[in-house]
Amino acid sequence: MKRTSPCRDEETASLLRAAIAETATSTPPRILMAMSTVAERLDADAYLAREDPRRTELIDGVVVVDQPSVLHQRVCARIHRALEAWTGSEHGRGEASWPLDVRLDDGTVLAPDVLWFAEPLPADATRAPRLPELAVEVRSGATWVYDIGPKRAHYERDGLACCG
C-alpha cells in the first residue's frame, strides 16, 4: 500500500494553511506570556519518572515550563481537526494525536502540539512509542525561540522534515 503524508495531500495542506491564516489575521490581545526554565538539569529517564502537573519539555537537559494561551490552543485544535479529517477520509492514513512525550535522546523529551503517526498508536500509550512522521509546533510568544532553535534542530537531526 502506498503511504501518504498529510503534508503531501493538497486538500489537507490547504486546510492547514487556511486554519493558520485565519488565526493569524485575527488580532490577539496583548498578553505577557510566561515561560520559565528550571535550573536543575535532568536526563530523560529522571524527567520521565517525575510527576509534574505543569506542561513541560526537556530540552538539552533543561526543564522548560510553558502554559499555552487560549489562542495557541485554538490554533492547535484547528490543525488537529484538519489532520483528523484527513486521516478519517481514507483507510490507512494513520493517526493524529494531541501532545505526547517524544524521547529524542538522553537529554531531550519534547511534546509537540500536534503529532501524526503513519501507523495507529496503542490505545493505552501515555508516551509516543516511536518518532512521529509529523510534529507540529505552534509558535507562541513565550516559546518561539525554542521552537525555531533547539527543538527544530532536534527534530531535523532525528529525521523529521521541517516545513515552518
Residue 32 within a domain = no
Residue 3 within a domain = no
Residue 132 within a domain = yes
Bridge partners of 116, per DSSP, are: 96, 134
Bridge partners of 118, per DSSP, are: none
**Residue 152 lies in domain:** 10-26+37-157
Mean pLDDT, the chain, rounded, equals 82
**Confidence class for position 68, pLDDT limits 50, 70, 90:** confident
Predicted pLDDT at 93: 93
User: Is residue 155 predicted with pLDDT exceeding 50?
Assistant: yes
For residue 84, give the amino acid letter: E
Domain count, the chain: 1
pLDDT digits (tens, 9 = 90+) for 30-39: 433 445 555 5
Predicted pLDDT at 131: 94
CATH number at residue 50: 3.90.1570.10
Predicted pLDDT at 30: 40
